[in-house]
Amino acid sequence: MAGLKADSPTPQALTVHSQSRVLEVKFSDGAHFRIPFELMRVYSPSAEVQGHGAGQETLQSGKREVELEALDPVGNYAVQPRFSDGHDSGIFSWDYLYFLGSQQTQLWQDYEDKLKVANRDRDAPMPVKAGHSCASH
């Protein structure tokens, strides 16, 4: 995740729309985006989703109905959402929110392509990882 660059647009308003499941963001350069919670969740910048390097990403599914339970500020450069599925480790910099908003069409297409290649349905629950049991924690 890149830090906030000096010339990057900054949010002027963040509005959580729970019923329509979108985060509305208005930026200082006039850009205005409505970012679906599902898109935020499947592209979370967390290591849990992105892995620790290329090829280590975990394809997300079953996130269409995910809700945003909280949106906590992180310094003056980001927010950390807490989603209804328990995911709360992604820190969304202003740059990353701008990227998600401005590239939504391509990101949705990429997501659908990855699901197709993996023979997974967008609404299918996340598969349980082999050899992992949450009860062992």
Domains in the chain with CATH codes: 11-118 (3.30.2020.30)
d(CA 16, CA 118): 32
pLDDT on residue 55: 84
The predicted model gives 49-73 an average pLDDT of 93
pLDDT (tens digit, 9 = 90+) per residue, 30-40?
999 999 999 99
Give yes or no for residue 56 having a pLDDT over 80: yes
Distances from the Cα of 123 to the Cαs of 45, 109, 110, in angstroms?
21, 16, 16
DSSP assignment string, the chain: -----TTS--EEEEEEETTTTEEEEEETTS-EEEEEHHHHHHT--SHHHH-SSTT------S-TT--EEEEEEETTTEEEEEETTS-----EEHHHHHHHHHTHHHHHHHHHHHHHHTT--TTSPPPPPTT--GGG-
If one compares 101 and 127, the residue with the highest pLDDT of the two is 101
* The amino acid at 120: R
pLDDT on residue 89: 95
pLDDT (tens digit, 9 = 90+) per residue, 78-92?
999 999 999 999 999
| 46, 90 Cβ separation under 8 angstroms | yes
pLDDT on residue 129: 67
**Mean of pLDDT over the chain:** 90
* The amino acid at 116: K
Give yes or no for residue 136 having a pLDDT over 60: no
| 38, 122 Cβ separation under 8 angstroms | no
